[in-house]
Amino acid sequence: MQAQVTAHRSTLSEKEDRALASMLVAYTVTATLWLLFATAIGILLAYKFGAPDFAPGAWLTFGRLRPIHTNATFYGWASLALVGLAYYVAARSSGTRLYSAKLAWIGLVLFNVAAVAGTVALDLGYNDGNLEYREWPWPIRLVFLAALVVTAWNLIGTVARRSTEDIYLSNWYTIGGALWTCIIALVAVLPWYQYGLGQVSVSGYYMHNAVGMWFTPLVLGIFYYALPKVLSRPIYSYALGVFAFWTNLVFYPIIGAHHFLFSPLPWWLQTTAIVFSVAMLVPVWGGSANFLLTMRGRLRDLVHSYPLMFIFVGVIGYLVGSTQGTFEAFRSLQEVWHLTNFTIGHSHLTMYGFVTFAIWGGVYALLPLATGNAPSRLGLSVHFWMALVGSFIYVIALSIGGTIQGLDWINGRPFIQSIQDMQSYWVWRGVGGALMFLSHIVFAWNVWCMSFGRSRAIAPHALSNVEEPAG
């Protein structure tokens, strides 16, 4: 079982191989365009904190641009990139072609139509109000739901055609993630929950499950495939991976109310959310230990393999960000951090330090295998270091600033004082954000080279250890 992921060879015909590669390229390229767009908006938002009167037109107000940034990063960038990788992993680890290439393309169109329509609607001022991460008007969210259903169906169909007896661990995570998200997205549009305290409760449920039952399992699924590939060694413990899968499923769906501590939601529901937030340490530490132990004794390879470096940062982002989340859920700490910029730091530590770095690791490990083209080592290193340093500055600045902000409020200082205290931290966030954005341009260039560039041998110094093992 453990050898499975390193042992399979392409059993596809050349035509099927090409079709799979084109699908991965199409998802990755469109996702990259969304990353560039969404983070250009992110930079503009960041600078508006220092210069609020800059770009004052209605279309460029903070209130419209903020949900455009969050929805475009969630559903344009991260979702598209992860679905492309999930398809590739499903087909490769099952030793078969996609159940339906046509459905994969239909899904791609639906995801993009939803993201474009959602962006335009938000910018024109049409939105579903205070429903975080589901501000798109509901008919548009139905298009996104349709894309999810198509994806789940296609992933299941692909794995059902597998040439092996077992379902490889990655597919548990990616199929689980796609199915759970169909349910979450459905609950999010059903009209009878969307008022009063029910709405608050569903908001917490939706918000946290979007990150915990969609992005997290998809990323973990990619780790379980890409890491053994990059290292040419099996995952440390298959059983631990299965254990983390089930505990994730048991604990995650019930922690959403930690977003609304001290709200009128029943106290027992808030306490339950806190208890399960602590329980989340089990799958988080179990999963992280599994990845780190898979890398044991091979940390020196980090220097030679950028895909591995990106994955390593992603694993650390998962471990540190989620553990931070557990502490953040305690009432005593929520008192300080709730509604402050500390939470924005946590969001970027997790969605950037974990999810985005993991996607980059997956793309750099797998796209060259699909297309035969590798990016230059210079491109990889410039991308890696700019993104790492930029996000480090971003997260540290907001974590310190957010704590000062919370203490100002607790100590009853005038609100304007908390704004003044934040100024320098917002400038640092702008500096970090600029580095992050520049790194995305380099990433886009690297994606171009991997997708359409001249065939470059998968260079021994950068990617030698990700070549498909002869098996």
132 vs 421 by CB, closer to ligand HEM: 132
344 lies in the site for ligand HEM, by CB under 6 A: yes
| Dihedral over Cα of 188, 189, 193, 197: its sign | positive
Query: Per CB under 6 A, does 337 bind ligand HEM?
Result: yes
Q: How far apart are CA 468 and CA 471, in angstroms?
A: 8
Residue among 211 and 226 whose Cβ is closer to ligand HEM: 211
Between the alpha carbon of residue 24 and those of residues 71, 97, 321, the distances in Å are: 22, 13, 28
Which residues are within 8 A (CB) of 21 and not within 5 positions of it... i.e. 6 or more apart? 370, 371
Closest CB to ligand HEM among residues 107, 256: 256
- The residue among 205 and 354 lying less far from ligand HEM, judged by its C-beta, is 354
* Residue 430 beta carbon to ligand HEM: minimum distance, rounded to whole angstroms: 7
Q: Is 259 in the site for ligand HEM (CB under 6 A)?
A: yes
Residue whose CB is nearest to ligand HEM in the complex, by number: 325
Of 33, 66, 376, 413, the one binding ligand HEM by CB under 6 A = 66
Q: Which stretch binds ligand HEM (CB under 6 A): 88-96, 183-191, 233-241, 277-285?
A: 277-285
Q: Which of 28, 96, 119, 326 binds ligand HEM (CB under 6 A)?
A: 326
Which whole-number Å values give the CA distances from 154 to 151, 301, 412, in the listed order?
A: 5, 36, 55
Q: What is the rounded CA–CA span in Å between residue 84 and residue 24?
A: 5
Interface characters, 389-418, with ligand HEM (x: CB under 6 A): ------------------------------
d(CA 219, CA 365): 14
Binds ligand HEM by CB under 6 A, chosen from 94, 112, 127, 343: 343
Q: Which residue has the tokens 């304007």?
A: 416
Q: What are phi and psi of 298, to 5 degrees?
A: -120, 15
> Is residue 211 a contact point for ligand HEM (CB under 6 A)?
yes
Q: Which tokens belong to 170? A: 């990655």
CA distance 208 to 205: 6
Site string for ligand HEM, 9-48 (x = CB under 6 A): ------------------------------x--xx-xx--
The nearest distance, CB 433 to ligand HEM, in angstroms, is 3
Dihedral of CA atoms 256, 262, 268, 270 in degrees, nearest 10, equals 20
Taking a C-beta distance cutoff of 8 angstroms, is the pair 341, 366 a contact?
A: no
DSSP 3-33: THHHH----S-HHHHHHHHHHHHHHHHHHHH
Return the residue of 73, 174, 270, 305 that touches ligand HEM, per CB under 6 A.
Answer: 73
Scanning 149-157, 320-328, 412-420, 448-456 for contacts with ligand HEM by CB under 6 A, the matching segment is: 320-328
Q: Residue 438: enclosing H or E segment and its boundaries? A: helix 415-452
Q: Is the Cβ–Cβ distance between 182 and 141 less than 8 Å?
A: no
Among 367, 374, 436, 450, binds ligand HEM (CB under 6 A): 436
Neighbours of 457 (CB within 10 A): 12
Residues 120-159 that bind ligand HEM (CB under 6 A): 132
- The Cβ of residue 423 has, within 10 Å, a number of other Cβ atoms equal to 12
User: Quick count: other Cβ atoms within 10 Å of Cβ 126?
Assistant: 14
Residue 36 or residue 116: which is nearer to ligand HEM going by CB?
Answer: 36
Alpha-carbon span 471 to 465, nearest angstrom? 14
Residue nearer to ligand HEM on the CB measure, 172 or 354: 354
If binding is defined by CB under 6 A, does position 207 make contact with ligand HEM? yes
The residue range among 16-24, 154-162, 413-421, 433-441 that interacts with ligand HEM, by the rule CB under 6 A, is: 433-441
Number of residues near ligand HEM (by CB under 6 A): 46
With contact defined as beta carbons under 8 Å apart, do 98 and 23 qualify? yes
Q: Does 348 bind ligand HEM (CB under 6 A)?
A: yes
Residues 280-319 that bind ligand HEM (CB under 6 A): 280, 284
Q: Where along the sequence are the contacts to ligand HEM (CB under 6 A)?
A: 39, 42-43, 45-46, 66, 69-70, 73, 77-78, 132, 207, 211, 215-216, 255, 258-259, 277, 280, 284, 321-322, 325-326, 328-329, 334, 337-338, 341, 343-344, 346-348, 350-352, 354-356, 433, 436-437
